[in-house]
Chains A and B, each alone.
Chain A
Amino acid sequence: MPAPGAIAVREAQGTGLAGARPARGARGRGEGFAPAVPALALLLCCFALPVLALLLRSLLDPRPGLENYAALLATGTYYRVLANTFLVAGTVTAVTVLLGLPLAWFLAVAPAFWARLVFGIVVLSMWTNLLARTYAWMVLLQSTGVINRALIALGLVSAPLPLIDNLTGVTIGMVYIMLPFMVLSLRMPLAALDRETFRAAALCGASRWQAFWRVFLPLLMPGLASGALMIFVMALGYYITPSLLGGTSNMMLAELIAQLVQSLLQWGVAGAAAFVLLAITLSLYAVQVRLFGVRGAAGG
């Protein structure tokens, strides 16, 4: 009897998409959750429980109390790392938005063939191994790397630019990694755009520039905001790229946590640092839900 199962799936999707849609009845609701149970169980085991363990550890290791948090907040290093983390995440997000918007405009107005080709290229880069891509950037950005040598050969600079082991290198590497995420989160609002709407704007007298600011940008705003938040939050916790392309002088939070665990074996302090990061992330999410609703914040 396939019918009840099919209904249950549809209800589950309905509640997932619409956020808090009231269930029609207790029976419907119970059945509706069944398909989501495996995924929820996985999340519980692999995310909720470790987070809880981490929280407990930060509160109990080595003694019960808030001493880990006190130790963390007492060190200047922590504040420097936190500031640097926010600086990097903010810069990466801003640059990604600045690059992503014109790209989205292109995808919206270009002939379908070119739009699909460019979209494909952008998303394809995501399928290459992250570590490999980061090492590739190391090769490119070194003072003896391709970019610097080309710049010198062209006579644009006389000495190699410091493109690696600093914020520039981290930003370049991370923007490159984040851009596909931005394009993906703009995909839905882009698909919902109607070309005729832009034609209407043009006939109303709007130049391309005005159409961009007054029509395109507002319509894309929810997708842009959710994309930016996702990228900012991902950037806050990034590890590989900052540790390979950034220098030791501008450490990010994930690097600090790794150091605390691996070199200093201070699990409690590391837990406290991780937990502060999680708290910051959740409050950012809350802000976005307030501004754009669950759908906007969830990227839809």
Chain B
Amino acid sequence: MSAPFLSIARIAKSYAGTKAVDEVSLDIAEGEFVTFLGPSGSGKSTTLYIIAGFVEPSAGEVLLGGRSLLAVPPHQRGIGMVFQRYTLFPHLSVAENIAFPLRVRRRPRAEIADKVDEMLRLVRLEGMRGRRPGQLSGGQQQRVALARALAYDPRILLMDEPLSALDKKLREEIQGEIRRVHVETGVTVLYVTHDQEEALRLSDRIALFNHGRIEQVGDGRDLYERPASAFVAGFIGNSNFLPVRVVAAAGRHAVVSCPDGFELRGVRVAARPAGAEPTLMLRPERLWLAPGGAGEGIAGTVVDAAFLGDCIAYRVRTGWAQDLAVRTPLAALGGAPAGVGQEVRVCCEGRHAFLFAAL
């Protein structure tokens, strides 16, 4: 394999003793859409700002096409960026904002005019070219910011929670725009968000950050179906975590015993242990309810059943007084849904359960 397009190698940054970024390494291919996902304060923005050149790492290296970026000042890195806050130049019109990076590069007038037209078409704001940023909605401003960041054909586009100030509907609309722009331009994108749905919708790969480290890198399915740690499993999607006892383990599979004695076979063992206590992770949508009585499954009582349109969300109280979330799609519902107070068994296939344990 040839050298990666962008290579982040063991970068670190400390602020007054706290490690904002702690030995983060990541290789990114040209044209890839990689999202940094993680809770607040996990070091996503700091990593992005190191790549942009606004934060100097205490250690590590950033290589673009095999050459170090760290000695290059921000304005010569050829990187585009869309910020969380609106950073359009308030004294310039939409068209002048988009033209700004080309003006400072002293490109010929005709080229600038063509590029501005092209960019306005790309973000679908042809009718707004003469407006000032103050006369645009938040979503429109971020689209102009996107156009401005792409106007000079940057090799990398950085986006730091560009949609966090927008409402859900507008966010989804602009997510669609960003996807389309990514496909049309083929630019390499590094995108920061703490919205998992946004990450899953947009990215080729997701790097999940926690405490300044990357917990796991992979596509959405990897993270969802093969979480490397309980943190990943807890962050992506909804999960039930059960305290269990490991009865037997062979290779990457194990047999576990739930607190009420029910034994689940063929459970997959996660790549990384979650600490001392063995924990079983069950996705609510991988569970189904069977009528109470003898048989497979964890016995329990329905304490809540909510109709959510496309599915029914149950809460089932187990014998050891833990509430398990169970989601049954309407299509999978044979007959009437279980009612509150009904005795049920919560069933699961071993291959859809995950064990986090130090084996």
Contacts and interface: CB of A to CB of B under 8 A. Distances in A.
A205 B104 contact: yes
Contacts of B88: 200
Interface of A: 194, 196-197, 199-207, 210, 214-215, 218-219
Nearest to A203: B81
A207 B75 CA distance: 6
Interface in B71-99: 73-81, 83, 85, 87-91
B64 to A, nearest CB: 14
Contacts of A197: 87, 89
A200 B145 CA distance: 9
Contacts of B83: 196, 199-200
A206 B87 CA distance: 14
A215 B89 contact: yes
Given A199-B74, A200-B81, A205 B101 contact: yes
Given A199-B54, A204-B100, A205-B152, A219 B90 contact: yes
B168 interface: no
Contacts of B205: none
A196 B91 contact: no
Given A210-B104, A219-B91, A203 B80 contact: yes
Contacts of B89: 197, 200-201, 215, 219
B344 interface: no
Nearest to B91: A218
Contacts of A206: 75, 100-101, 104
Given A203-B74, A204-B148, A219-B89, 7 more contacts: A199-B54, A205-B104, A205-B152, A207-B75, A214-B100, A219-B90, A219-B91
A205 B100 CA distance: 9
B74 A194 contact: no
B13 to A, nearest CB: 17
A215 B85 CA distance: 17
Contacts of B76: 205
A204 B52 contact: no
B298 interface: no
Nearest to A199: B54
Interface in B35-74: 52-54, 73-74
Interface residues of B, number: 28
B105 interface: yes
A203 to B, nearest CB: 5
A207 B100 CA distance: 12
28 contacts: A194-B85, A194-B87, A196-B83, A196-B85, A199-B52, A199-B54, A199-B83, A200-B81, A200-B88, A200-B89, A200-B145, A201-B100, A202-B73, A202-B74, A202-B75, A203-B80, A203-B81, A203-B149, A204-B104, A204-B149, A204-B152, A205-B78, A205-B101, A206-B100, A206-B101, A206-B104, A207-B75, A207-B104
B149 to A, nearest CB: 7
Given A196-B83, A197-B87, A219-B90, A203 B52 contact: yes
A199 B101 CA distance: 13
A1 to B, nearest CB: 39
A300 to B, nearest CB: 16
B158 to A, nearest CB: 8
Given A205-B105, A206-B104, A210-B104, A196 B75 contact: no
A9 to B, nearest CB: 28
B16 to A, nearest CB: 14
Interface in B283-336: none
The 8 nearest A-B residue pairs measured at CB? A204-B101, A200-B87, A202-B74, A218-B91, A206-B104, A202-B75, A196-B87, A203-B81
A214 B149 contact: no
A200 B86 CA distance: 10
Nearest to B105: A205
A6 B67 CA distance: 63
A148 to B, nearest CB: 43
A207 B149 CA distance: 16
Contacts of A201: 89, 100
A224 to B, nearest CB: 13
Contacts of B53: 202
A276 to B, nearest CB: 37
A205 B75 contact: yes
Nearest to B79: A203
Nearest to A213: B104
B66 to A, nearest CB: 22
Contacts of B103: 214
Contacts of A199: 52, 54, 74, 81, 83, 87
Contacts of B74: 199, 202-203
A200 B103 CA distance: 14
Contacts of A214: 100, 103-104
A206 B76 CA distance: 9
